[in-house]
Amino acid sequence: MRVIVTGGAGFLGTLLCRRLLAGPVGLGGAAPADVTRLVVVDLVAPADDVAADPRVEHIEGELSRTLGDEADAVFHLAGVVSGAAEADFDLGMRTNLDGTRAVLEYARGHAVPPVLVFTSSLAVFGSDPAIGPVGPVDDDTLPRPQSSYGIQKFVGEQLVADYTRKGFVRGRTVRLMTVSVRPGRPNAAASSFLSGIIREPLAGERAACPAPPDMPVALSSPQRTLDGVLRAAEVDDATWGSRTAMNLPALTTTPREMTAALDRVAGPGTSALVDWVEDPAVVAIVGSWPSRFETRRAAALGLAADASYDEIVRAYRGG
C-alpha cells in the first residue's frame, strides 16, 4: 500500500507518518493493511526516525512537482498557515490553492481513484462585518471566511468536493480546530500563541498572549486531531456521506482558562510568565473565528472533543 503525506515533515504530518508506519491502516472501508511505501512531500526533510524507515521516500519541493507512481491514499496537509497567508497573498495562493489543485490533478490521473483526505480549517468561518459575530457552528453552517487563509481553504474544500463528485478521487475534507499544545518554536500562524502561552512557561520562558484573556477559542489536542484525520481516511464512502467538509470536535475555552489549567497542572504561578499584550492584527483574525461547535456528524464516526484543557496540558507534559 503506497501512501502520500504532503506536509509530512510538519508537526501534524510527522505524527501521521509515525502512525501510518506503526501498523496496519484501513483505507476507505477496506481491511487494515501495512503501508509498504510512504512518500513524504515537504520543503524540508522528515523527522529522523521517519526518514530512517526503509519504506519512506522524501520528495523535496513544491507541490507542483511530480508525486510519482499512483497511491492508495493521499493525505494533503501541506499549506501556508494563517498569518503567513495574510502577510504574503501570493505565497498563500500559490501554496494553499495552486498546491491543492496540483495534488488533485495528480490523483485525477490514477486508474483507481485514491482516498484523499484534505485538512481544512475552522478559519473558513468568520464574523462578517455586515452580518455580525458568528454564533455556534453546526454541520450546515455557511462558511464566511474573513482572511486570505480562510478563503483559500474554503476554495480547496470545494475543489475536493467537485473532484469527488466527478469520480476523480474519494475525497474527505476535515476542518481542523486550532491545535494546542504544539511543541517546538512558534510558527507564523495567527493562533500560534494558543500553544506558546503553555509551551514557553513550561520551559521556564516568557510568552506573549496577544488576545484578551476572555476571548473564547476552539481547540483540539494533537491526538484528537490526528484521530479525526485518520478516521476520515478509514471509513467507506457511504459512511463518510456528504462531500461537504466535516467539522472536527472542539473544546471551547479562553486564554484565561488555559493559563489557569497551566497553574493547576504545573504549579501555582507558572502562568506569571505570560505577558498579556493585545495585538489588534491577531485579534482581527483569531477573534473572527467561531468558538462553539456542534459536531453531530463527527460524533457519528466516534469522534469527540477533549474532556478538559487540564487534560491537554497534562498530555503535553507527558503525564
Q: What is the pLDDT of residues 59-70, one digit of tens each?
A: 987 776 678 889
Q: Return d(Cα 163, Cα 139) in angstroms, integer.
A: 21
Pick from 126, 78, 84: nearest CA to 102: 78
Distances (CA, A) of 37 to 70, 275, 282: 11, 46, 40
Pick from 5, 7, 72: nearest CA to 34: 72
Residues labelled catalytic = 149
Q: What mean pLDDT, rounded, does the chain reach?
A: 94
Contact at 8 Å (CB) between 62 and 80?
no
pLDDT in the model for residue 68: 84
Q: Return d(Cα 173, Cα 317) in angstroms, integer.
A: 30
Amino acid found at 269? G
What is the enclosing helix (H) or strand (E) of 219?
strand 217-220
Q: What is the DSSP letter of 145?
A: -
Res. 20: pLDDT tops 60? yes
Q: Return d(Cα 198, Cα 220) in angstroms, integer.
A: 14
Q: Return d(Cα 145, Cα 193) in angstroms, integer.
A: 21
Q: Return d(Cα 62, Cα 44) in angstroms, integer.
A: 10
The pairing of strands 170-176 and 178-179 is unpaired
pLDDT in the model for residue 64: 61
In CATH terms, the fold of domain 2-317 is Rossmann fold (3.40.50)
Q: What is the CA radius of gyration of the chain?
A: 19
Report CA dihedral (27, 29, 33, 37) to the nearest 10 degrees. -20
User: Can you give the pTM of this predicted structure?
Assistant: 0.94
Contact at 8 Å (CB) between 128 and 146?
yes
CA atoms within 13 A on the CB side of 169: 30
Amino acid found at 39? V
pLDDT in the model for residue 10: 93
Res. 3 pLDDT band, cuts 50 70 90: very high
Alpha helices in the chain (DSSP H): 11-22, 48-51, 82-87, 89-92, 99-108, 148-165, 193-202, 222-234, 237-240, 255-266, 280-286, 296-300, 309-317
Write out pLDDT tens, residues 243-299. Answer: 999 999 999 999 999 999 999 999 999 999 999 999 999 998 899 889 999 999 999
